[in-house]
Amino acid sequence: MDRILIEKLKANAVIGIWEWEKQITQIVEIDIEFSIDARMITKDNISETTNYKDVAKDIKLLCESRPFELVETMAEEIAKFAIAKYKMNKIMVKVCKPGALSDAKNVGIQIERLLSDYDL
């Protein structure tokens, strides 16, 4: 199977468990990888594949539309949303919160989900 990658997508999200975090936006970085079959693209036409620009725009909108407390919750919501909207069979989502720990460059979570993981 072939994969489309979106790396380091930035979103300004309200994310965190502390009261002060719930009052501000913070940058989260999102990596997304999803499966396609590129052999099915015969006409060099965007309509024959999943448009990564649309996926990125929709995921960014999702992350910025409501508060999240945990990166784990955000990653799960992204996976469920993308699988449902774009009829993906498999997705990998990585959500990082740079600067969450002063001694680390990044903290985050990476999850993989299948269409069969959800009752859609």
pLDDT digits (tens, 9 = 90+) for 85-111: 999 999 999 999 998 899 999 999 999
Enter the tokens of residue 103: 């001694």
C-alpha distances (whole Å) from 114 to each of 20, 87, 93, 107 are 35, 10, 11, 24
User: Is 26:97 a contact under the CB 8 Å cutoff?
Assistant: yes
Whether residue 97 lies in the annotated active site? yes
pTM across the whole model? 0.93
Strand partners, 10: 29
- Domains, the chain, ordered by start: 2-117 (3.30.1130.10)
Instruction: Give tens-digit pLDDT for 6-58.
Output: 999 999 999 999 999 999 999 999 999 998 888 888 788 888 888 999 999 99
Most distant pair of Cα atoms in the chain: their distance: 52
Catalytic one of 85, 87, 97, 105: 97
